[in-house]
Amino acid sequence: MTASIVGWAHTPFGKLENETVESLIVRVATDALADAGIAAADVDEIILGHFNAGFSPQDFTAALVLQADPALRFKPATRVENACATGSAAVHQAVKSVAAGAKIVLVVGVEQMTKTPGPEIGKNLLRASYLIEDGDTPAGFAGVFGNIAQKYFQKYGDQSDALALIAAKNHANGVSNPYAQMRKDIGFEFCRAEGDKNPFVAGPLKRTDCSLVSDGAAALVITDADTAKTMAKAVTIKATAHAQDFLPMSKRDILQFEGCSVAWQRALQSAGVTLSDLSFVETHDCFTIAELIEYEAMGLVPAGQGARAIKEGWTRKDGKLPINPSGGLKAKGHPIGATGVSMHVLSAMQLLGQAPEGMQIKDAKLAGIFNMGGAAVANYVSLLEPAR
């Protein structure tokens, strides 16, 4: 691959009452260019990842990036969207633009969800499913994954301990992430027990099994290899892969996350590496059952044995393949359009030894990122390494 990340920015995730979609975009675009030491006039293209689907009254948002600097006026700016994988869709589009000849691409991912009333949030998110089949699902998108969890339990047995361990792991990791929405180690016992503060939400999924409703933004400056050589810091995007699966779950075995498997296989093969070469992974834990199945889909364990990876400590920060050292979507939050960009920012920080204390993976050399849209429909994998 010829594309490199040379600068970034990241807001805290959470309920950002004094921000708007526009202010979030402007903030991270400005900060990312400053971080890279690149003038706005030198940007060749702008890619915005913004899911929206009803969250923001202002649609048609690509041009809002121009508000960051008058020198961005008349630059090509495009909004991309692929449900919860929108952020990675933006990153991958930037990589393609660099391959096509662009030297400097500014990527922004943004979402503001918390100003939307609760029932509408569920309805908006459910639009990332196949409405003909899933439109009446109780509890919205959580209900979709609740059904997946129920089917998994029926096939492989009760996995409540494993799901609680995943939630507890990610919340413990999130304590060290200054951008995380929830920086509290709530522990296995709290995540495992059903109660007033942790009720069942959908099927076997409790509140602690579900990612948070969030506002936030992140941005990257992506350049060609020659430009990256002149920058103060650079992380190479070693490989990217995108596998899109059928939208209707009735057309596939939903317990396999086959699109996730295909994306991982393509990326690893393209980079000439194996899963064991990875230093850590940031994966899409929109729900704990998703992370569990992703262990299997990426090839860490065989089908039905995802619990083994968490119970034996493989995926903890000190395990053989740390997964979600940032706290994941579970603790960090999940502002839809920003999530994939955030994953790339935090992975780049890890690879340059710039992650916050307590979050940093020692001697990180190769990062894997998996960002998913819908129920394993849009599947994006990126592999990153230090450029030098």
Residue 364 — φ and ψ, nearest 5°? -65, 125
What average pLDDT does the structure give for the chain? 97
pTM for the whole structure: 0.98
As to burial, measured by CB atoms within 10 angstroms (0-12 exposed, 13-18 middle, 19+ buried), residue 133 is middle
pLDDT tens digits, residue range 272-298? 999 999 999 999 999 999 999 999 999
Q: What's the pLDDT band for 314 if we cut at 50, 70, 90? A: very high
For the cut 70, the answer to whether the pLDDT of residue 299 exceeds it is yes
* Count of C-beta atoms within a 10 Å radius of residue 72: 19
Rounded Cα gap, residues 249 and 311, in angstroms: 29
For the cut 70, the answer to whether the pLDDT of residue 180 exceeds it is yes
What is the structure's pLDDT at 119? 87
DSSP annotation of 257 reads -
Q: What's the pLDDT band for 34 if we cut at 50, 70, 90? A: very high
Rounded Cα gap, residues 265 and 234, in angstroms: 25
Please identify, in words, the CATH class of the domain defined by 3-116+213-228: alpha beta
**pLDDT > 70 in the chain, percent:** 100
What's the rounded mean pLDDT across residues 323-342? 98
Distances 107 to 127, 136, 158, 333, 345 between C-alpha atoms, Å: 24, 35, 41, 20, 11
Distances 22 to 6, 16, 38, 67, 352 between C-alpha atoms, Å: 24, 13, 21, 8, 30
- Give the residue among 151, 255, 166, 153 at the shortest CA–CA distance from 209: 166
- DSSP-derived pairing of the beta strands 104-112 and 215-224: antiparallel
What's the rounded mean pLDDT across residues 323-348? 98
Tokens representing 361 are: 């993976």
pLDDT tens digits, residue range 188-232? 999 999 999 999 999 999 999 999 999 999 999 999 999 999 999
pLDDT tens digits, residue range 46-88? 999 999 999 999 999 999 999 999 999 999 999 999 999 999 9
Catalytic residue positions, numbered: 84, 334
What is the structure's pLDDT at 292? 98
For the cut 90, the answer to whether the pLDDT of residue 2 exceeds it is no
The answer for residues whose C-beta is within 8 angstroms of residue 224's C-beta and 6 or more apart is: 2, 3, 4, 98, 102, 103
For the cut 80, the answer to whether the pLDDT of residue 1 exceeds it is no
Rounded Cα gap, residues 212 and 331, in angstroms: 7
